[in-house]
């Protein structure tokens, strides 16, 4: 699967958060960038382990309560996405399956599985780096996270540190192609 050239190309039906933010507080963007840099640290761990370079953190009351990176190959588990692991850690940390006042930061737009799990967990806000126009379920291909027929809608901000996030996953897929892997 060749996603490297399309990550973060702006092929999504909404503008990046920088372009569409209506927040009167400019420091909100800076806080999002600080937390996204933490998610990028996790993505780099995945890259170093030859996993798809995606990282995620969960923040509650301005505190990081969970951090994870993709581990599908390591665990031989197709559900071991960074978001799923981070949601589980956050639920354990809060001792609740409901993550009502939490924000999930992830380097790449979540897939349908992860977006569905976020809805079930009642995540308040999602912040992602680069769009995924082939499998993104938070605005690119579909929008599970804010679908009007579901009983919970997540506030979404995309495009935070987009270039850094897109660059890392692009580098991962170029490395995989160079090694003859799919």
Give the residue numbers marked as catalytic.
83
**CA triplet 81, 60, 170: central angle to 5 degrees?**
35
Distance of CA 131 to the CA centre of its chain: 9
In sequence order, the 6+-apart residues with CB closer than 8 A to the CB of 169 are 3, 4, 7, 43, 52, 53, 54, 107, 108, 130
Q: Express the helix, strand and coil content of the chain in percent, nearest 5 each.
A: 40, 20, 45
**CA triplet 149, 93, 17: central angle to 5 degrees?**
50
The answer to whether 115 and 135 are in contact (CB under 8 A) is: no
Tokens 């937390």 belong to which residue?
A: 35
The answer to whether 80 and 71 are in contact (CB under 8 A) is: yes
**HSE value, Cβ hemisphere, 13 Å, CA-based, for 3:** 21
């Amino acid at each position: 699967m060749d996603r490297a050239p399309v990550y973060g190309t702006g092929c999504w039906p909404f503008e990046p958060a920088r372009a569409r933010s209506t927040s009167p507080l400019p420091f909100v963007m800076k806080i999002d960038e600080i937390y996204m840099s933490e998610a990028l640290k996790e993505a780099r761990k995945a890259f170093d382990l030859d996993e798809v370079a995606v990282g995620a953190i969960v923040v509650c009351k301005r505190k990081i309560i969970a951090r994870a990176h993709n581990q599908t190959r390591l665990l031989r588990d197709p559900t071991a996405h960074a978001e799923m692991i981070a949601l589980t850690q956050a639920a354990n940390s809060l001792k609740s399956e409901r993550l009502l006042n939490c924000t999930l930061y992830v380097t790449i737009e979540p897939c349908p599985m992860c977006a569905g799990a976020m809805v079930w967990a009642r995540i308040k806000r999602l912040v992602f780096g680069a769009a995924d126009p082939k499998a993104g379920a938070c605005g690119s291909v579909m929008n599970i996270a804010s679908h009007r027929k579901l009983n919970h809608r997540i506030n979404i901000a995309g495009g935070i540190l987009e270039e850094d996030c897109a660059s890392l996953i692009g580098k991962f897929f170029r490395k995989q192609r160079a090694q003859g892997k799919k």
